Amino acid sequence: MSFRTWGVVLSAVLLGGCFEVNTSQAPIATTYPISEQQRMQAAHHWEVLAKHEAREIIAKRDLWGKSLYVEKQERETAFSRGFRSLLTSALVQQGAIVSTEPDASAHVTFDVQVIRHEGRGFIRPPRGALTALATGIAVATIPFNNWTEPALGLIPAAALADTFSGSWTSPSPEEVIITTQVSQYDTLRYSSSNLYYINAGDSEHYGASQTGDQAGLPLSSDW
């Protein structure tokens, strides 16, 4: 490197030292650590949530020995009808005292909010997705060099796909927040919120307005 080049580099370093390097006129966007969120896309998944909530409600010490009344939603949807039935069945099966009348019982309610995200940016693919894809491609090239039948190269790649594809799903711009609560005498005894992705075509199951969707508005439903 010539003397002139060294002089330019040294000048740049000295000039850069005259300024604060750890400054910004606005907060810099960053990301959260990688996390996972399940996609709710079958009535069986409603049953899984109902059984989970029933276990948690029964385990709540404040509710031991109390009768429970599962309230009916004012605005019925496919989810509200299904989840109420599944939750009632799960409570009965797990030994809870479930009343058919609201008087003197703790009231079990649930609330659903549907959220549609607009303009969501790039979402990182699942862990191992790119590695598995690259490995599958690499393995598939082996027969062309060593085996007599090139089609056999699809076997290892297919095996990799079978191993990992069951846990892969595409991200969705639509989510639901499902909150289950138990209250008695104006006192909240239990509250649990769960978040799920949902398929774009399933938002009406949870009470989202199709009119709002067609108008380009965020999908939301508060009961």
d(CA 98, CA 182): 13
**What's the pLDDT at 221?**
42
Which pLDDT score is estimated for 155? 54
> Is residue 182 over pLDDT 90?
yes
Which tens digit of pLDDT belongs to each residue from 63-91? 999 999 999 988 899 999 999 999 999 99
Order the strands of the 106-116 sheet from edge to edge: 39-40, 187-198, 174-184, 106-116, 67-70, 97-98
Q: E-strand spans in the chain? A: 39-40, 67-70, 97-98, 106-116, 174-184, 187-198
Can you give the pLDDT at residue 223? 38
- Is the pLDDT confidence value at 156 over 80? no
Q: What gap in Å lies between CA 190 and CA 109, rounded to an integer?
A: 10
Distance CA 163, CA 35 (A): 21
Question: What is the secondary structure of 20-43 as a DSSP string?
Answer: -SS--SSPPP--PPP----EE-SH
- CA dihedral 124→127→128→134, nearest 10 degrees, is 0
What does the alpha-carbon distance between residue 82 and residue 161 come to, in Å, rounded to a whole number? 34
Distance CA 217, CA 213 (A): 6
The mean per-residue pLDDT over the stretch 16-45 comes to 80
- What are the tens digits of pLDDT across the range 87-145? 999 999 999 999 999 988 999 999 999 999 887 766 666 565 556 555 555 555 555 55
82: nearest Cα among 93, 95, 69, 73: 73
